[in-house]
């Protein structure tokens, strides 16, 4: 299983209307909270904001991986958002961020969270994946791109 298997169509936003990083966090956290009973949206947003205050989760090449750990969460949860114009997220290369993969993991299992972060980062670092995600026509196509690239990233048995 890859972190991309955590996504469902209701947690993919192909056209984020956000113009600020905080709006992205609130939108994606809302999608996650709607699909997970017992996950408090306010707690998730605050955990994401706290993580962003430590250091931006925007990487390079238009990618950010906002993430947090919450106690009592039964497993990893993900959401994906895409903007057409990009959002200033203080990325390391100064470029606007267009792809956001939100990842939330159980505080009690930090190793699982770190492995998922590493996989997401490795896959979204691939130019072909980013190009395909940005050019995908809809949610289904975006999920298929991540499924294909996620399969390539899966360690051999």
Look at residue 155 in the predicted model and tell me its pLDDT: 57
Helix (H, G, I), strand (E, B) or coil at 85: strand
Q: Give me the domain span that covers residue 118.
A: 3-151
In this prediction, the residues of the chain whose per-residue pLDDT falls under 70 are 1, 154-157
Residue 120 lies in a domain: yes
Instruction: Return the bridge partners of 70, or none.
Output: 106
Residue 157 lies in a domain: no
Look at residue 154 in the predicted model and tell me its pLDDT: 65
| Catalytic-role residue among 67, 92, 113, 125 | 67
CATH number of the domain at 119, please.
3.40.930.10
Residues 73-108 pLDDT 10s = 888 999 999 998 999 999 989 999 999 999 999 999
Q: Is 67 a catalytic residue?
A: yes
Number of independent structural domains in the chain: 1
Residue 58 lies in a domain: yes
Say how far apart CA 108 and CA 87 lie, in whole Å: 32
Query: Would you list the DSSP string of 73-109?
Result: --S-EEEEEEEEEEE----TT-PPEEEEEEEEEETT-
Residue 156 lies in a domain: no
* Global confidence as pTM: 0.94
Residue 134 lies in a domain: yes
């Amino acid at each position: 299983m890859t972190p991309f298997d955590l996504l469902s169509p209701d947690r993919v936003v192909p056209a984020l209307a956000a113009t600020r990083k905080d709006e992205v966090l609130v939108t994606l956290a809302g999608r996650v909270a709607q699909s997970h009973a017992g996950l408090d949206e306010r707690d998730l947003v605050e955990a994401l904001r706290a993580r962003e205050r430590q250091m931006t989760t925007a990487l390079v090449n238009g990618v950010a991986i906002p993430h947090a750990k919450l106690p009592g969460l039964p497993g990893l949860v993900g959401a994906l958002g895409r903007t057409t114009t990009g959002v200033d997220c203080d990325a390391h290369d100064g470029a606007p961020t267009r792809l956001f993969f939100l990842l939330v993991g159980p505080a009690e299992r930090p190793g699982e969270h770190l492995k998922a972060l590493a996989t997401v980062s490795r896959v979204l670092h691939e130019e072909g994946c980013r190009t395909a995600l940005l050019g995908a026509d809809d949610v289904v196509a975006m999920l298929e791109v991540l499924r294909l690239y996620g399969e390539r990233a899966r360690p051999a048995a």
